[in-house]
Amino acid sequence: MAERVTGARRKYLRIPTDQVISVAELDQSDRLAVSRDLSTGGIRFEAVGCEINLGDLLRVTFNVGRRTIVATGRVVWAVETDPITQEVGIEFQEIDPAALRFLEEEIEPALDLPGPY
């Protein structure tokens, strides 16, 4: 019997996003990227024209509603989608506790929406 594992292997459930964000190594200037999904544990984004490596520590700046959130995170995976584009997943390492609570409050209602089961 086949089991449906929708989200079962994920530590954090994600909500889809599609916004321009700022990404940078801690000692570098910001670059633009496009977020693809977001959770309280991290963010997935596409970066064009830069090299991001597994284990890099990055600062990300993004908006949730009208609030701007700045977090640092470690690259836990990175895949080239074409010769100049990478899809990257980072796990948050540092995020302001108030920003994390706000993020939880914004994401939780989206997780309660009915989904395919």
Q: Which tens digits make up the pLDDT trace of 58-69?
A: 999 999 888 999
Domains of the chain in sequence order: 15-110 (2.40.10.220)
- Residue-level pLDDT at 5: 34
| SS3 category, 29 | coil
Q: What is the pLDDT of residues 26-85, one digit of tens each?
A: 889 999 999 999 999 999 999 999 999 999 999 999 998 889 999 999 999 999 999 999
- Dihedral sign of CA atoms 57, 87, 115, 1 in order: negative
Of 15, 41, 54, the closest CA to residue 93 belongs to 41
Q: What is the pLDDT of residue 9?
A: 53
pLDDT at 112: 54
